[in-house]
Structure 1
């Protein structure tokens, strides 16, 4: 059995069901020893959310864009001029069209879509099936967006945790400012391999607005290199709904020890 296979099998025992299924699915096409998808396989783009109340959804998303861009700037993320221009071009569009065009741009930075149905039950969709589309570098902060389709019109805190994150299951995950550049290494157990944070006030609220479409900023910093799996759990906090209104997704990452090409 290869070293990679041994690590993956050991990892499966520490993951929840969603992460284990994702890791096995990624390994299956070429065997556990290779643990990657066939070349050319890419997940479809995230769906464009059509708001039932376009005007208030558009007003919130416009404000959300400003929050996201400011946060990405402070995180040191270079948003291409073409993306900024595409977002600015939505200013004079009708509400429905502006909502769709804005999502097309922001979805390029998304890690996942969190769908919250009318009864506040969650379903999570990965933005891509290819780990190469979510590159991270060891000891460097990597910034992603999380897209939310809030059919429940919930207004409670929106939270994320991961058993594979150092300190990612308790308080302190929400940060007032984004990480930028290098992150500090730390002693950690073999099952924990990254730092996790969600950016909140004052840059942007870490709670749902009650509007249908919005984005949140989450960051990761890998403490290890090589294939790593993680299960992320998104849920409503603040006691607004009963326990059980949450969703989890397992994702595979390939942290590198040097700069990611094109990043």
Structure 2
């Protein structure tokens, strides 16, 4: 019995170490611009309704106040990595590869959920980071181009870039909606800093277990070869809760109402 119990525990330790090692870490980023970018990300997280916990906020502030720069870098990444669903690495040749992050892949039926994307930008590019998923294709067709995950239809306008070709999926697999949050207080494009965090927003049409493929790029032709620019994750989509409103007027009789 002892042998049977020991082996799975040992394997679990190896798998955990391997997964952590594959997630991108940055050790040489300048601390002052990193702290400025992190403050904007935290502000955006608060605005979108997924703030850090009080304990995490204190831990982050302690890391950002640390005078020893390597310790500060490690502490900042340790806090924010917990909320990162994806890690993106852009090499000096601007080839993009992606890995799964430590955050739990949990979504909510008919609701948006936000996650962080950790970007290790060795190229220093200031292009826009795009997230593309075949599971995020539109359910309807209209116009030449509908979204980053949709295959182009017809002739594109001259001022619009051609997206990477994406094979169309059956409707049952188009359960996801994907968008990057690029509004204030964040910039639309990458800053060029070696390390920064971005926010991805995911919407689930369904409840239950659903798998989705996600790829990232900073422009056509920047995807890494060998399928390294995409990752498949199994999501646990929590079912929505039905809510019943019983509206009555001043006489206690059923009536109609508008809620905002």
For the aligned pair, the TM-score class normalised by the smaller chain equals 0.5 to 0.7
Q: TM-score, normalised by structure 1?
A: 0.67
Give the structure with higher Rg (CA): 2
Distance in 2 (alpha carbons) for counterparts of 1:222 and 1:254: 10
Distance 1:248 1:123 in 2: 7
Superposition RMSD in Å: 2.7
Q: Which of 58, 61, 72 lines up with 2:34 in the alignment?
A: 61
TM-score normalised by length of structure 2 = 0.68
How far residue 216 of structure 1 moved from its aligned partner, in angstroms, is 0.4
In the other structure, the counterpart of 2:20 is 44
**Which of the residues 77, 80, 86 maps onto 1:112?**
86
* CA deviation vs aligned residue, 1:157-195 (integer Å, no higher than 9, x gap): 11111111144984489xxxxxxxxxxxxxx92221022
Offset at residue 258 of structure 1 (A): 4.5
Secondary structure in 2 matching 1:227: strand
CA contact (8 A) 2:136 2:177 kept: yes
Q: How many residues align?
A: 197
Please list every run of 5 or more consecutive structure 1 residues that lacks an aligned counterpart in the other structure. 1-37, 174-187
SS in 2 for 1:255: strand
Q: Does 1:218 align with 2:233?
A: no
CA contact (8 A) 1:206 1:216 kept: no
Say which is worse superposed, 216-225 or 42-51, in terms of deviation: 42-51
Which consecutive segments of 4 or more residues in structure 1 shift more than 6 A?
A: 38-41
| Match in the other structure for 2:133 | 162
Point out the more displaced range, 135-144 or 161-170.
161-170
CA–CA distance in structure 1, aligned partners of residues 116 and 44 of structure 2: 11
